Amino acid sequence: MDNAFQKDCLEILASKVEKGEISRRRFTQMAAMLLAGAPALLRSTGSYAQAKELVLVNWGGDAMTAYDKAYGQPFTKESGVTVKMDGSGPTEGAITAQFKSGKPSWDLMDIDPFSGISLGKQGMLEEIDYKTVDKNKMRPGFGWDHAASTYFFSYIIAYDSSKFGDQAPTGMADFFDVKKFPGKRSLYKWGSAMWEAALLADGVAPEKLYPLDLKRAHDKIAAFKENVVAYWGGGAESQSVLMDGEASMALIWSTRASLLEQDSGGNIKFIWDQGLISPGALGVMKGNPGGKDNAMKFIASAQTPERQLEMFNMLGQGPANPATDALIPADKKRINPVDPANMSKQVPLDMEWYAENYGKAFDEYTKVISA
Amino acid sequence: MNSSRPGPVILIVATAVALFLLMPLIAVIPVSFTPARFLSMPSGTLSLRHYQALIDNPAWGQSILLSLRIGILSSAIATALATMFGLGIWMFQPRFSALLIGFVLLPLVVPPVVSAMTLYFP
Amino acid sequence: MIGKTITSRKILLLAPLLLFLGLAYVVPFLGVVRWSFTMPEVGLGQYRALMTDPLVQSVFIRTLRICLIVTAAVLVTAYAIAYVWVRGSSVQRMLAEFCILVPFWISVLTRAFGWLAMLSNRGLINTWLQSAGVISEPLALARNELGVIIGMTHFLIPFAVFPIASAMRSIDERVLLAARGMGASRTRIFWTVFVPLTYGGLIGAALIVFVFALGFFVTPAILGGGRSVMVAELVYLRIFQSPDWGLGAAISVVLVLFIGALLALMRRFIKPAHLIG
């Protein structure tokens, strides 16, 4: 599905590193994403892991710098194992291709946990060794057999406050209510969290969401279709839809929402209420060249709160280890998707459900929105 | 030649088409001078910040160089192969030249995404 | 002896490109064809799915519809500017050439974003129209099928101009003079003599535009507001996002066969030269 989120973090990092180039970033990001076919030949020049070496595959560009600085270098210092970053993008398709080649060159991959679950079931990923990786350093319910939780982001409501006077939305019901909150909306092109949003708006209680009633969700979305101006496919696009005034409200990634707030001078606001929390994870390639043990040790080292804090500062992702929360300065706590105050207002996506149903659900969603 | 100089109707249509062709380029140029971080029309003030970034960030220089290198290399190879092929067809008029030409034009008509898949996976 | 040298020279000249394409293109494509019959299991399952899957069908139908509209729009516009390019005064010819070639050289991505800047709610067109008082609410020009059609038409005009212009250039001036000598009006000459003489170029242009349009990917993704999924994007989704290589491969095979059949069908109307101008 998305992977788009991971890619998006690169953009955010880039904009933090050198303020002032979202639009240009957007070109490259779209380029990378849309023309993914064209540079395919270039990608095959990926790194090959040697002994005493791990290859971590993420979504390219500047995320390589972030992972390297926060996780890679400290790990090398304490273990002597070099960590090479490879930004070629571990889509499920690419992981499958790697695995089927019989001689994978990748060790660790930044993946959606539900991809981890389904790839794990197909025998393409090593089981996470929870003797080395500490489950106590994860939020309860976010450690999977084949994927270890490393960060969080949320799908939340962001809105153009200039359009609503002194009213503010308080949840998904308001998002789907164009009488009370006039204007167009924008939804996520790849479906995730949109079903949950529709069901919450339709009055389903958060704890009764799963298994999702897809029929009901799609009916709700289909009936709402004429109010949707665009289905954004990447973070920059979600940002421009609100910035250009094309939508008065959108369901977007929390990392983008806080950027939008800055860019618009506070005009665009966001709420955590009924936000949908989505975890990100690391998976280990079955029979990885750098050895399972080292890969597990790396994951364990990435649980260190200080290192996760570094990632939060650079990318705005919520830390996987709850102990990190306390290290976040008070003024930044507000934008941490898993800060206790924010988390209590939100609902986590059920990765088991996604592993089982995402493909079919996304097909159906595409049908509904494109019809 | 002057027996069929473009008449007024076709000139009007052609002018409209010409404007249509130039339109997105007209839009791109002002956007590049926006002072904002995001894709937008500059309102009032202009800024060279994005050009500055183009120079300051080594990533852009590197990717431009890489593009140039790949562009030069691939056009050299393509030109060499195609010239030889063209010469061969022209000099010898082989029996199935139409078929051969059709075959080498294949990549032109196959959708790029199919080509990409073809090159990436197997 | 001489015959042998010619054969070996012939092979020497023709073989490299054929070999290159064979190895780098045809062989891997056969791999894709194999997938379509073997993934996830051996058989015709993916083709059956393709015939019955309403998503695939609606995408195919939408793609065909968009391609037909775009082809028609491109032919009309390209014809007008090609005419000026071929038969205009020297200044007109220069201006036409400039307008045809400059966009042609600019990347598809830049052009798509240019159109977005032009057509979006706070884009130039809506801003102008609003400040001129023509409209009060911005028109929905981008992030829908209309935006996709505008962007694709823009991209494809030059590809149609070349074959049409080459057909126009090869018209024998004396035929036009003869028509004039017999007292036909300019309009009459244009419609009954000039245009029919360019049918070859028009058909070639229609074909190349239609075939290119079928594979469009970037423009629909940027200007379609995430909605107008065309068949190329569907292949991309199946291959890279939700790995369903069998179906992606089957769609690709069908697409290539369709294009092949179309070209074969139109073979007698076109010369390769007309395809590329």
Q: How far is CA C227 from CA A42, B10, B23, in A?
A: 30, 36, 24
> Any CB–CB contact under 8 A between C88 and chain B?
yes
Per-residue confidence at A32, pLDDT binned at 50, 70, 90? very low
Which of B117, A34, A363, B102 shows the shortest CA–CA distance to C250?
B117
Residue C106 lies in a domain: yes
- Give me the mean pLDDT over the B9-22 stretch: 93
Q: Are residues C29 and C55 located together in one domain of the fold?
A: no
Which subunits count as partners of chain B given 3+ CB pairs below 8 Å?
A, C
Domain that holds residue C262: 48-276
- Contact: C143, A367; criterion CB under 8 Å: no
pLDDT at B95: 78
Structure tokens that stand for B105 in this block = 């034009």
Chain A residues within an 8 Å CB radius of B110: none
Contact C239 A35 (CB under 8 A): no
Inter-chain contact B112–A22, Cβ cutoff 8 Å?
no
pLDDT tens column, B55-87: 887 777 888 898 899 999 999 999 999 999 999
Give the integer Cα–Cα distance in Å for A82 and A72.
8
Look at residue C32 and tell me whether its pLDDT is greater than 90: no
ipTM exceeds 0.90, yes or no? no
B115 touches chain A (CB under 8 A): yes
Q: pLDDT value at position C117?
A: 85
- Which residues face A268 on adjacent strands? A160
Please check whether residues C182 and C255 belong to one and the same domain: yes
Cβ atoms of residues A145 and A120 within 8 Å: yes
**C31 beta partners:** none
| Encoded tokens for B11 | 């000139």
Mean pLDDT across A17-33? 39
Q: Above 60 in pLDDT, residue B37?
A: yes
- The four Cα atoms B71, B74, B75, B77 give a dihedral, to 10 degrees, of 160
pLDDT band, residue A18 (cuts 50/70/90): very low
B116/A61 CB distance under 8 A: no
Contacts of A258 (CB under 8 A, 6+ apart): A270, A316, A335
DSSP letters for A32-81:
HHHTTTTTHHHHTT-----TTEEEEE-S-TTHHHHHIIIIIHHHHHHH--
Could you tell me which residues of chain C have a Cβ less than 8 Å from any Cβ in chain A?
A: 54-55, 58-59, 62, 109-110, 113, 120-123, 140, 143, 217-218, 221-222, 225-229, 236-237, 239-245
Q: Is B122 on the interface with A (CB under 8 A)?
A: no
C71: closest CA among C198, C167, C213, C199? C213
Could you tell me if residue C196 is inside a domain? yes
| pLDDT for residue A240 | 85
The Cα of B90 is separated from the nearest Cα of chain C by a number of Å equal to 10
Can you give the pLDDT at residue A59? 77
Lowest mean pLDDT among A196-200, A301-305, A365-369, C40-44: C40-44
Residue in A with minimal Cα distance to C112? A27
C21 and C106 belong to one structural domain: no
Task: Write out the two tokens for B43.
Answer: 């309102």
Residue C275 is predicted with a pLDDT of: 54
Does position A288 have pLDDT exceeding 80, yes or no?
yes
For residue C2, the model assigns a pLDDT of 55
**Nearest-CA neighbor of A142 among A340, A319, A327, A333?**
A319
Q: Of A318-322, C48-52, C272-276, which range is least confident?
A: C272-276
CA distances from B25 to B15, B19, C142, C213 (A): 16, 10, 16, 21
pLDDT at residue A263 greater than cutoff 70: yes
Do residues C114 and C28 share a domain?
Answer: no
Same domain, C63 and C85: yes
Q: How far apart are CA A316 and CA A332, in angstroms?
A: 9
Domains and CATH numbers, chain A: 4-152+278-347 (3.40.190.10), 155-277+348-370 (3.40.190.10)
Give tens-digit pLDDT for A84-122: 888 878 888 788 888 887 888 999 999 999 999 999 999
Nearest to C247 by CA among C19, C72, C38, C71: C38
**Once rounded to an integer, what is the mean pLDDT over residues C229-243?**
80
DSSP one-letter string for chain C: -HHHHHHHHHHHHHHHHHHHHIIIIIHHHHHHHHHHHHSSSSSSHHHHHHHH-HHHHHHHHHHHHHHHHHHHHHHHHHHHHHHHHHHS-HHHHHHHHHHHHHHHHS-HHHHHHHHHHHHSTTSHHHHHHHHTTS-SS----SSSHHHHHHHHHHHHHHHHHHHHHHHHHTS-HHHHHHHHHTT--HHHIIIIIIHHHTHHHHHHHHHHHHHHHHT--HHHHHHSTTT---HHHHHHIIIIIS--HHHHHHHHHHHHHHHHHHHHHTGGG--HHHHH-
Tokens of A275: 């936000």
List the beta bridge partners of residue A282: A110, A148
Residues C206 and C130 in one domain: yes
Residue A333 CB coordination number (10 Å): 14
Q: Are residues C213 and C233 in the same domain?
A: yes
C263 in reach of chain B (CB within 8 A): yes
> Average of pLDDT values for C194-223?
90
Whether C43 maps to a domain, the answer reads: no
Domain parsing of chain B, residue ranges: 1-56
Q: Which residues of A touch B57 (CB under 8 A)?
A: 18, 21
> Which of the four pLDDT bands, split at 50, 70 and 90, describes residue A61?
low
> If we measure between CA atoms, which residue out of A34, A364, A348 comes closest to residue A191?
A364
pLDDT of residue C69 exceeding 70: yes
- Residue C227 clears pLDDT 90, i.e. is over it: no
User: Would the CB atoms of B17 and C106 count as touching at under 8 Å?
Assistant: no
In degrees, rounded to 5, the angle at the alpha carbon of residue C235 between the alpha carbons of residues C155 and A106 is 115
Beta bridge partners of A159: A249, A269
Mutation target to probe the B interface, by most B beta carbons within 10 A, among C9, C83, C171 is C83
Rounded to the nearest integer, the mean pLDDT of chain C is 87
Residue A251 clears pLDDT 60, i.e. is over it: yes
Distance, in angstroms, between B3 CA and closest chain C CA? 7
Same domain for C174 and C62: yes
Lowest mean pLDDT among A161-175, A324-338, B63-77, C113-127: C113-127
Please give, rounded to a whole number of angstroms, the shortest distance from the CA of A7 to a CA of chain B. 17
Q: How many domains does chain C have?
A: 2
| A-chain residue closest to C241, CA distance | A1
Q: Is A67 left (phi over 0), alpha (psi -120 to 50) or beta?
A: alpha
Q: How far apart are CA C118 and CA C120, in angstroms?
A: 6
Of residues B18 and A97, more confidently modeled: B18
Confidence of residue A47 (pLDDT cuts 50, 70, 90): very low
Please name every residue paired with A110 in a beta bridge, in sequence order, or none if there are none: A282
Q: Which of C218, C237, C243 sits opposite A96 (nearest CB)?
A: C243
Nearest CA to C80 out of C200, C183, C161 is that of: C161
Coil, strand, or helix at residue A332? helix
Q: Confidence class of residue A11 from pLDDT cuts 50, 70 and 90?
A: low
The rounded mean pLDDT for chain A is 85
Q: Rank A255-269, B28-42, C58-72 by mean pLDDT and report only the highest.
A: C58-72
What's the mean pLDDT in A321-326?
Answer: 93
Quick one: C152 and C186 in the same domain? yes
Task: Please give the model's pTM, rounded to 2 decimal places.
Answer: 0.81
Query: Residues of chain A whose C-beta is under 8 A from some C-beta in C?
Result: 1, 3, 27, 30-31, 34-37, 91-94, 96, 189-190, 229-233, 237, 244-246, 358-359, 362-363, 366-367, 369-371
Regarding whether C82 and C19 lie in a shared domain, the answer is: no
Q: What is the rounded CA–CA span in Å between residue A255 and residue A261?
A: 11
Chains with ≥3 Cβ pairs under 8 A against A? B, C
- Mark whether C3 and C99 lie in a shared domain: no
Name chain B contacts of A26, Cβ cutoff 8 Å. Answer: 38-39
pLDDT at A25: 38
Across the interface, whether the CB atoms of A34 and C227 are under 8 A apart is answered no
* pLDDT score, position A182: 94
Q: What is the 3-state secondary structure (H, E, C) of chain B?
A: CHHHCCCHHHHHHHHHHHHHHHHHHHHHHHHHCCCCCCCCCCCCCCCCHHHHHHHHCHHHHHHHHHHHHHHHHHHHHHHHHHHHHHHHHHHHCCCCHHHHHHHHCHHHHCCHHHHHHHHHCC
Which residue of C120, C140, C229 is in closest CB contact with A370?
C229
The residue among A252 and C218 whose pLDDT is bigger is: A252
Q: What is the CATH number of the domain that holds C67?
A: 1.10.3720.10
What are the Cα distances from residue C48, in Å, to A43, A371, C245, C255?
Answer: 34, 22, 15, 15
Query: pLDDT of C138-191, one tens digit each?
Result: 888 888 889 999 999 999 999 999 999 999 999 988 998 898 889 888 888 889
Residues in B 14-73 with any Cβ partner in A closer than 8 A: 31, 34, 36-40, 49-50, 53-54, 56-57, 59, 70
A-C contacts (CB, under 8 Å): 80
C87 lies in the same domain as C150: yes
pLDDT for the residue A51: 57
